[in-house]
Structure 1
Amino acid sequence: MSRIFSDWLKTFRNSINSYSYYIDFKKVYRQAENIKLEINLLNSLVGSREIEEDFEKLLRKYPECLKAIPFLLAVRQNKIFCQDEKGATSFRFDQETQSIQQYKYFMKKTGLFDLLQNHIISSLYDYVTGVEVGLDSNGRKNRGGHQMEDLVESYIKKTGHEYYKEMELKAIEEKWKIRLSSISADGTTTKRFDFVVKTPEKTFGIETNFYASAGSKLNETARSYKMIAQESKNIEGFSFVWVTDGAGWFKARHNLEETFNVLENLYNIKDMEDGAFKKLFS
């Protein structure tokens, strides 16, 4: 039974964000625990009426508390560069390289003394945990980039077939003696499939992506995969598979439709849920 492109496109998802996409709390807690001792030392300064003097005493007795200072500014590096009318300084916090006066100047100018002294916070550990949550939100792009691959891999695993991740054409040719020169322009270009599935009868090269928003990249991808689909049709023992999804395709539907018309093994998430891989690899 042939598929109708417009009906197929209607099943595309706006998002594939998992519950763990937003914040990796295990990482947050791990980062906070790594500097818990140093944070608790600095916590003794909360509400201090003589913040500069108390900071100096603390630093002389426990210089290791310096390690936690960058985290209070949402900085992961041990080096922080600052400049003002008095000049420029590169502060180190993994070791005591500046004078105590310079560190006191840093704490004052960055507003950390004010944060600690005026009870804006009551627990530095809670504060750092919140900072780590903010920093981890920057990792959503990386997590999002792997979500579709992880989802596709989960459905590949269910089939029970042998599979490989990020496999180059040359490796496929050498392992299974398949000539893929038509895809690689006679070996002049480097191509790598996200997944390669091996069944007793055939080898499948799989590409996967998810586009939540539109852009020129979608049209380029569709054209590129259309070419691979056409070139791979005459390769014995090999099939090209593309799994894609996302609302971004709604505005790039024409290029996607062109590929849909020439690539039989073009699937979306709904297809995988309906057992597309099980049928394809059987």
Structure 2
Amino acid sequence: MAKRDFNEWRSHFIPAISGYSYYVDFDKVSVNVDSIKTELNIMNSLMGSKNICEDFVNLATKYPEIRKCIPILLAIREKKFDVRDNGKIITYDLSKHVNSIEELSRLMSETGLFKMMENRLINLVDYVYGVETGLDSNARKNRGGHQMEDLVEGFIRATGKKYFKEMYLSEIESRYGLDLSAISNKGSTRKRFDFVVESNNHIFAFEVNFYTSSGSKLNETARSYKMLAEESRGVNGFTFVWVTDGCGWKDAQNNLRETFDVLDTLYSIHDLESGVLSRLFDGVEIVLDHF
């Protein structure tokens, strides 16, 4: 196989993999709002109140279920949280009827909720739609972290090979009778791979990531995977595969180049689109005795 050119390989890196679903999950937002819409509409009766503390106590006494609205009105997911109040810690648990109505009234007063409701005649259902949208946007990092895994999994699945997600070194050793002590520092490292693929009596262990911005983590990752590539080279029946991409590598390409030079199975999204996995999986003829 002809030696690959690093600059040509990296020239195919793409700046983003985010689809439309990355931004806001409006279906989730609607479900969350609908689950408390009745209670929010009850709370709407407090808008513009001139005696809101007393009105809230009366309302919460008659409709105790409205307390479950309070966390989202404070733009938090937690139903149980602590507040420091004049040197004391007050624990609020809105999942249960633990706190007194007076304590809830103080919470809403001190956080400014009462003032907002007194002075601004807004619909709380609309307000919570906005809050839920904002909170969901904070989940983008988590969604983004899974996008590359989902993308690579699609390519692996398309090959028809048997594979597993998130598998530890010890599980690989146990399942396939492999000795991976050279990688695990004689069993002291609990390394977990994103995917493990079986093909032609051979095991392929994958790490996948995508970087939209640069930083020290990229250099650390490249150095770590270079070491992993070198350590795994002598393990019969085992191949380490790294799939990475993203414009974040632009300022960290020197370390990436070092890993590229020692790891033939370092791939980009462009490589996957070119069918590299089928060629990789079907081209291996090494026999694993204990497979």
TM-score (norm 1): 0.89
AA aligned opposite 1:41 = I
Which ranges of structure 1 fall in alignment gaps of 5 or more residues?
A: none
Q: CA deviation at 1:97?
A: 4.6
Cα distance per residue 1:178-222 (max 9 Å; x no partner): 222222233332322211110124211111111222222222221
| Of 156-165 and 42-51, the range deviating more from structure 2 | 42-51
AA aligned opposite 1:43 = N
Cα distance per residue 1:150-172 (max 9 Å; x no partner): 11111101111000111122222
Give the equivalent residue in structure 2 for 1:118. Answer: 119
Which ranges of structure 2 fall in alignment gaps of 5 or more residues?
A: 283-291
AA aligned opposite 1:275 = G
AA aligned opposite 2:242 = W
Give the equivalent residue in structure 1 for 2:131. Answer: 131
| Separation of aligned partners in 2, 1:179 and 1:77 | 45
| Separation of aligned partners in 1, 2:32 and 2:73 | 13
Give the equivalent residue in structure 2 for 1:154. Answer: 154
Q: CA deviation at 1:86?
A: 9.9
Cα distance per residue 1:96-132 (max 9 Å; x no partner): 45554444343333332232233441x2112111111
Give the equivalent residue in structure 2 for 1:46. Answer: 47
**Contact 2:200–2:281, Cα closer than 8 Å, also in 1:** no
Aligned ranges 1:1-282 → 2 under 5 Å? 1-79=2-80, 81-82=82-83, 89-121=90-122, 123-282=123-282
Change (3 A) 1:9 1:63: same
AA aligned opposite 1:116 = M
**SS of aligned partner of 1:59:** helix
**SS of aligned partner of 1:195:** strand
Percent identity, aligned pairs only?
A: 52
Q: CA deviation at 1:85?
A: 6.3
Q: CA RMSD in A?
A: 2.3
| Of 253-262 and 47-56, the range deviating more from structure 2 | 47-56
| Separation of aligned partners in 1, 2:229 and 2:90 | 57
